């Protein structure tokens, strides 16, 4: 078989190719020869990557508009990046999730760690939501959707174009239905005995956060007969899991009225609405108000957005995590539990743990760290890409 006539791009003479040969998935713009021919490649083009001595390293997706100028697709330069290639990658990802989960509600593709760089796909039974966060995936989106239907049998495929990653790639923010029809309303999603309502087109990200599943489950084990506070609750992630675990009551705090409406609908479907309350407002202001009111909870969990989404935001983000820990610790009853989460890849586990422990101390509290949690196995970590291991969850007994 004659290899497809892909163009060639090349590493600069002083760029070390060893990391790429050992599995590093990204090549940055300052590592490549960017002559006129290379810059003329349209975003999303497939090319052969060579080292400075012209030895082939693999097939890459190219986007000269991105700081990550080349993403490794296949080490075989004779491969064809087409629907069949996509279907093989999707089938491999599907096989792992089928082994892990009884019901088809999970992250099906976690970008580089599943061999589809920049691509996130969440599955909601008969519906799949794709986030094509790299230019090559935008170009091949019809083929991805067709391969996805072929492999999984889903009847509906959405494109979700939200998030900063697409902006960094120079891509649009237009979401919509690629195949099938949008559901008439929010979709119920079962997890850990709870029911969550996901707004697949209008909600955050793909509508729900599957990554916290094991941390929800751990929190639920602490929640029996407990008074629970879930701050930055979104659609009720920790609160509803706690109620499924036998919590006495749960209060969900979030700044989004639509998210809290979905949380209340989930509680009603579970039959626990009489034990569930919501409070809309800025999380910091609500926690300060609760402290002033003398409120106490047996279990407090805070799952904020990424306060440190990049290295320039790291120090400010760590201060925000410390403040969260200080306020939240002040609401935990003696002998109670505190869960603190971060989805900031720039704040590694050690820095995040230091900020949290400092905040607990500033609240005049002390405690033992009893559990460290991460994302579930449907969010595999690429061993040479720290960004894929973004989620941390720390549980303390105060």
Catalytic residues: 343
**Token representation of residue 315:** 């120090």
- SS3 for 106? strand
User: Are the C-beta atoms of residues 187 and 198 closer than 8 Å to each other?
Assistant: yes
Q: What is the gyration radius of the CA atoms in the chain, in angstroms?
A: 23
| Backbone torsions φ then ψ of 55, nearest 5 degrees | -85, 130
Q: Are the CB atoms for 103 and 190 separated by under 8 Å?
A: yes
Taking the C-alpha atoms of residue 110 and residue 93, their distance in angstroms, rounded to an integer, is 9
Question: In which element (H, E) is residue 220 found?
Answer: helix 213-222
- Give the strand order in the sheet containing 249-254: 276-280, 249-254, 227-231, 297-302, 332-342, 392-397, 368-373
Q: In whole angstroms, what is the distance from residue 243 CA to residue 274 CA? A: 11
Nearest C-alpha neighbor of 269 from the set 337, 198, 339, 204: 198
| Residue 263 C-alpha from the chain's centroid | 20
| Cα–Cα dist 40/34, whole Å | 9
- Contacts of residue 312, Cβ cutoff 8 Å, sequence gap at least 6: none
Q: Which pair of structure tokens corresponds to residue 97?
A: 């999730």
> How far is the C-alpha of 31 from the C-alpha of 13, rounded, in Å?
9
Q: Are 229 and 210 in contact (CB under 8 A)?
A: no
């Amino acid at each position: 078989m004659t290899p497809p006539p892909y163009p060639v791009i090349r590493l600069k003479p002083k760029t070390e190719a060893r990391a790429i040969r050992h599995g590093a998935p990204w090549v940055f713009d300052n590592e490549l020869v960017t002559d006129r021919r290379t810059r003329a490649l349209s975003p999303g083009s497939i090319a052969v990557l060579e080292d400075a001595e012209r030895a082939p390293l693999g097939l890459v997706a190219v986007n000269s508009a991105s700081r990550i100028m080349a993403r490794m697709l296949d080490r075989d330069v004779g491969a064809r990046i087409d629907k069949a290639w996509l279907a093989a990658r999707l089938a491999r990802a599907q096989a792992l999730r089928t082994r892990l989960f009884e019901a088809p509600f999970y992250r099906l593709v976690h970008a580089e760690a599943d061999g589809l760089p920049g691509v996130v796909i969440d599955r909601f039974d008969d519906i799949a939501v794709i986030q094509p966060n790299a230019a090559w995936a935008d170009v091949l989106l019809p083929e991805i959707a067709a391969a996805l239907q072929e492999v999984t049998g889903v009847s509906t495929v959405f494109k979700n174009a939200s998030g900063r990653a697409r902006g960094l790639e120079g891509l649009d923010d237009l979401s919509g239905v690629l195949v099938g029809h949008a559901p008439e309303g929010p979709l119920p999603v079962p997890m850990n005995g709870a029911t969550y309502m996901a707004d697949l087109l209008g909600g955050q990200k793909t509508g729900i956060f599957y990554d916290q599943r094991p941390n929800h489950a751990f929190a639920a084990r602490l929640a029996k007969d407990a008074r629970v506070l879930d701050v930055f609750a979104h659609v009720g992630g920790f609160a509803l899991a706690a109620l499924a675990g036998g919590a006495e009551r749960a209060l969900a705090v979030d700044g989004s009225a639509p998210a809290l409406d979905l949380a209340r609908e989930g509680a009603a479907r579970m039959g626990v609405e009489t034990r569930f309350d919501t409070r809309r407002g800025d999380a910091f202001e609500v926690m300060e108000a609760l402290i002033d009111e003398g409120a106490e909870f047996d279990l407090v969990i805070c799952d904020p957005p990424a306060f440190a989404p990049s290295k320039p935001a790291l120090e400010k983000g760590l201060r925000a995590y410390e403040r969260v820990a200080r306020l939240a610790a002040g609401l935990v009853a003696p002998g109670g539990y505190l869960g603190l989460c971060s989805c900031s890849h720039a704040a590694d586990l050690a820095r995040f743990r230091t900020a949290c422990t400092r905040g607990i101390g500033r609240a005049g509290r002390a405690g033992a760290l009893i559990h460290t949690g991460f994302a579930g196995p449907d969010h595999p970590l690429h061993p040479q890409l720290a960004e894929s291991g973004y989620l941390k969850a720390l549980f303390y007994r105060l």
